[in-house]
Chain A
Amino acid sequence: GAGVSQSPSNKVTEKGKDVELRCDPISGHTALYWYRQRLGQGLEFLIYFQGNSAPDKSGLPSDRFSAERTGESVSTLTIQRTQQEDSAVYLCASSLARIMNTEAFFGQGTRLTVV
């Protein structure tokens, strides 16, 4: 596609429910990133995928968070047993390069609200 696509754009869920967020990267981009942006704060790194290498999961805040990516295509971020502090905008980005000296292209995010 023309850009990074994320779905849904908005999600309201009840505390304790599981949610799944989807990211379609730009075709051909080997690198894919997930970030979280809480209201009024910067972007918090969650996880990074590069090709078939083992993902860098160092930013995942708890074991309730997990992400998968099949090859160089779609990625899903799953949050189990959601809590109110999980409310945020979840941003996905993709890029061509193995190292971060080239541009990352961001999707418009999924706004998650846990009530």
Chain B
Amino acid sequence: AQSVTQLGSHVSVSEGALVLLRCNYSSSVPPYLFWYVQYPNQGLQLLLKYTTGATLVKGINGFEAEFKKSETSFHLTKPSAHMSDAAEYFCAVSDTGRRALTFGSGTRLQVQP
């Protein structure tokens, strides 16, 4: 079985500050890991993904995430928050045995001016 835990349903940062959104997963086999973003009144879109290879993954809009197997984590970071980053962020896991993504409960990011 696989599961995803996102710590913090709401995160608030100031514009220009570091963004850190936490994601821990459990999977019985090597996972594929994803971050999706949902802007207000829009559908989910892929931010970045880890499948194999380099554990530090870069995505769109300056976001990146690092796969840490020993910590079963895939935290999302961005060095400097922008107002346009305000959205809901979902971490998801899939593995070779299961064909559908399992999503976390989401973290709503607020960016204060």
Chain A interfacial positions (CB closer than 8 Å to B):
3-4, 31, 33, 35, 40-45, 48, 50, 56, 59, 91, 93, 98-101, 103-104, 106-109
Give the interface size bracket for B toward A. 20 to 34
DSSP majority for the B interface?
A: strand
- Nearest CB to that of B108 among chain A residues? A40
CB-CB < 8 A to A56: which residues of B?
99-100
CB-CB < 8 A to B36: which residues of A?
106
CB-CB < 8 A to B100: which residues of A?
33, 45, 48, 56, 59, 100
DSSP majority for the A interface?
A: loop
Report if B102 contacts A (CB, 8 A): yes
CB distance from A106 to the nearest CB of B (A): 4
Q: A42 near B103 (CB under 8 angstroms)?
A: yes
If A40-B9, A108-B43 touch, does A103 touch B49 (CB 8 Å cutoff)?
Answer: yes
CA distance A101 to B49 in the complex (A): 8
- What total count of A-B pairs have CB within 8 Å? 63
Q: B96 near A99 (CB under 8 angstroms)?
A: yes
Chain B interfacial positions (CB closer than 8 Å to A):
4, 6, 9, 32, 36, 41-46, 49, 51, 90, 92, 94, 96, 98-106
Q: A50 near B99 (CB under 8 angstroms)?
A: yes
CA distance A45 to B106 in the complex (A): 15
Q: B44 near A91 (CB under 8 angstroms)?
A: yes
CA distance A93 to B44 in the complex (A): 9
